Structure 1
Amino acid sequence: MSAPPKSWTPTPPERGSFPLDHDGECTAAMKKYLKCMKLVKNDNSHNCRLLAKDYLECRMNNQLMDRAPWNELGLPENDEKK
C-alpha cells in the first residue's frame, strides 16, 4: 500500500456538508421514505418521490440543510399528493 501523494487535497461535496439529525426531528419522514423504497425495490416511484420531498422539506424547515429549489434537488416544484 502506498500513501496518497503529498499534494493531494480533499475536496468538499458539491453541496457542502450538513448537520446530522441528532434530535430525530425528521426520522419519521426518513423511515417512511426508506420503507417505500424497499417496497418498490428502489424503483423511481411517484409515491416515494413525494415522501422524499416531505423528508427534504423537514430537513430544510429544521435547518438541517440549506433551502434549495425543488428542481435542483431533482423533484418537481408542484407535485401534488395523490
Structure 2
Amino acid sequence: MNQEHRVTICLGSSCFSRGNKHVLEIVKSYLKEHNLEPTVFFSGELCTGLCEEGPVLKIDGNLYKAVSSENIYEILDEYFGHS
C-alpha cells in the first residue's frame, strides 16, 4: 500500500470540544467514499498548541485552522481534486 498523503487531525481537548470530533468522522467517511484510504495515512495527534485557532487539521504539512463540519468538505475537495 503506497500512502502518498498524510492527514493529521488535532485530538487535543480544545480542538476536539470545538468540533474536531465531527470533523474526524467526516474525514474518515470522505476518504472511504472517494476511495482515498489506500493512499492517505490518516491519524490523530495530541495538542498542536494552536488552541485559539482550532480546530486544526494538517494535510501533507499544510495547516488548516478553524476547521468545521461546514468547511471541511471544501478543504478536502480543494486538496484532493474532488467536487
- Give the alignment's TM-score, normalised by structure 2: 0.30
Compare relative contact order (CA 8 Å, sep 6+) and give the higher one, 1 or 2: 2
Q: Which has the larger radius of gyration?
A: 1
Decide which structure has greater strand share: 2
- Give the alignment's TM-score, normalised by structure 1: 0.31
